[in-house]
């Protein structure tokens, strides 16, 4: 369900929407709704997508869309990837495009992209386009004003994006987040299903011509080419035997630099890295690519040899950052660990000092090759405490608290980078920690970054295959 809230007749603004999506700031210059009158908001209208009325078995649905104002329409992407254009003042439905998404798999859409073809005549079909991905890994372009497919894009407005190997089920690889658009290039990430198999499909990032749908380049976060400088961070060329490292969060774009910024995830397996000794670049990183070519401009890894499911979870914030007496075009990245990093987004130079600190090796299982250190930013507080102890537990009664304390004392824990173990390890702030996919927001006037922070301790236990049920 979508709600429209108004004071009177809200002045919708669309001019800055594209910039907000590209930079991840989520900032609006609108001033009609304030802290003084927000309690006076009333429901003006509501719209039901109908997608959740008859849920299918094995369908993981979640309404996570970030609606966009495009060509005077409030554009919504539903869990089934139906694109709906609404009158923003009344909630009246103007048009619907249904891509006939499969009924199984990860059912979530986190937004659409908008591209303007400046070579096309004003008012022509598909001069303004809505571009989005689907749960069966198609890329679709439709006219932003009418919802009609763009005939010159791929085949009847669709491109079947390639997957590196056959899926073991429909939806093992999906496109959930909005594509990034760098000038006339559409860049698409993917979600690769976790905890399914070690040799899962690659988390390749694909780039297409926004006008024709022709594939232009691809980037694999797992460097399978021995000539790639990052390949040496995978001992014995082990990158070829693993998958994922995908970009499931939204990407950010600097049009002037022709740069797209990729928040990459962990390689398979999420909690067990035997067979892939080394730091495993470009996974668990921020990777800056040139939009035209896909060439790596710079990269920084947040988690070495990730066996914690600490993906880079949220869209990078592109802001101006004070550094040595001047403002630097910067990239700020929040993480599941609660750690905050900042870089010169042109060069990759850290704007907040980073140091390598020793981390826990307790509970390491046979065959594992943990990194002895992990990077920590210096001089900026973390969003979450960097430790958890029995003294942090609580309960509804003294008995409840005592039982919880005993449970915590029985588990493996030595800080935020403690590996999963057969004993059972506490993960805190957890695999869903930090801001997760929602990310932070930034107010350029007050210079404040606002970030949600999840802190839910979880227990991860490794079970030897011979003991698995």
Please name the residue ranges forming H helices in 348-446. 398-409
Cα–Cα distance measured from residue 354 to residue 310, given in angstroms and rounded to the nearest whole number: 18
* Beta bridge mates, 207: 187, 217
Active site residue 309: yes
Please name the residue ranges forming H helices in 250-373. none
Cα–Cα distance measured from residue 310 to residue 267, given in angstroms and rounded to the nearest whole number: 10
Cα–Cα distance measured from residue 420 to residue 429, given in angstroms and rounded to the nearest whole number: 14
Task: Report the relative pairing of strands 180-182 and 158-160 from DSSP bridges.
Answer: unpaired
Give φ, ψ of 188 to 5 degrees: -125, 130
> Which residue in 103, 177, 179 sits closest to 136, CA to CA?
103
Contact 46, 3 (CB under 8 A): yes
* Beta bridge mates, 182: 185
> Which residue in 132, 273, 149 sits closest to 208, CA to CA?
132
Query: Of residues 194, 309, 392, 400, which has the active-site annotation?
Result: 309
Q: What is Dmax (Cα atoms) for the chain?
A: 73
Q: Is residue 314 classed exposed, middle or buried when 0-12, 13-18 and 19+ CB atoms within 10 A define those classes?
A: buried
Residues tagged active-site: 309
């Amino acid at each position: 369900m979508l709600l429209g809230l108004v004071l009177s007749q809200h002045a919708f603004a669309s001019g800055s929407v594209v910039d907000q999506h590209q930079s991840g700031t989520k900032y609006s210059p609108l001033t009609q709704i304030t802290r003084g009158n927000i309690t006076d908001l009333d429901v003006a209208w509501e719209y039901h997508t109908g997608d959740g009325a008859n849920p299918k078995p094995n369908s993981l649905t979640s309404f996570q869309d970030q609606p966009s104002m495009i060509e005077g329409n409030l554009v919504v992407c539903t869990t089934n990837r139906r694109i709906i254009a609404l009158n923003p003042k009344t909630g009246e439905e103007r048009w619907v495009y249904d891509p006939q998404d499969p009924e199984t798999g990860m059912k979530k859409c986190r937004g659409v992209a908008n591209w303007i073809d400046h070579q096309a005549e004003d008012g022509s079909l598909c001069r303004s386009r809505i571009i989005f991905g689907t749960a069966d890994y198609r890329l679709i372009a439709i006219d932003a004003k009418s919802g009609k497919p763009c005939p010159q894009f791929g085949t009847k407005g669709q491109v079947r994006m390639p997957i590196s190997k056959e899926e073991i089920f429909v939806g093992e690889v999906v496109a959930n987040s909005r594509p990034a658009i760098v000038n006339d290039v559409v860049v698409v990430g993917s979600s690769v299903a976790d905890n399914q198999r070690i040799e899962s499909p690659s988390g390749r990032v694909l780039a297409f011509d926004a006008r024709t749908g022709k594939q232009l380049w691809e980037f694999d976060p797992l460097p399978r080419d021995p000539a790639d400088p990052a390949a040496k961070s995978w001992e014995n060329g082990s990158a070829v035997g693993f998958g994922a490292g995908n970009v499931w969060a939204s990407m950010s774009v600097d049009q002037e630099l022709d740069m797209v910024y990729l928040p990459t995830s962990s390689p398979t397996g999420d909690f067990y890295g035997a067979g892939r000794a080394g730091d495993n670049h470009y996974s668990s990183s921020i990777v800056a690519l040139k939009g035209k070519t896909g060439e790596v401009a710079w990269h920084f890894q947040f988690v070495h040899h990730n066996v914690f499911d600490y993906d880079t979870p949220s869209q990078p914030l592109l802001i101006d950052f004070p550094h040595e007496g001047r403002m630097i075009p910067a990239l700020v990245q929040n993480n599941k660990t609660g750690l905050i990093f900042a870089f010169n987004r042109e060069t990759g130079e850290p704007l907040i000092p980073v140091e390598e600190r020793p981390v826990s090796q307790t509970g390491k299982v046979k065959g594992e090759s943990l990194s002895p250190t992990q990077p920590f930013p210096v001089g900026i507080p973390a969003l979450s405490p960097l430790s958890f102890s029995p003294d942090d537990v609580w309960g509804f009664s003294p008995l409840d608290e005592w039982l919880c304390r005993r449970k915590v004392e029985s588990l493996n824990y030595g800080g935020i980078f403690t590996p999963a173990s057969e004993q059972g390890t506490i993960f805190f702030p957890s695999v869903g920690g930090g801001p997760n996919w929602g990310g932070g927001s930034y107010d350029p006037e007050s210079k404040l970054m606002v970030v949600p922070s999840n802190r839910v301790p979880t227990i991860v236990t490794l079970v030897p295959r011979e003991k698995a049920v």
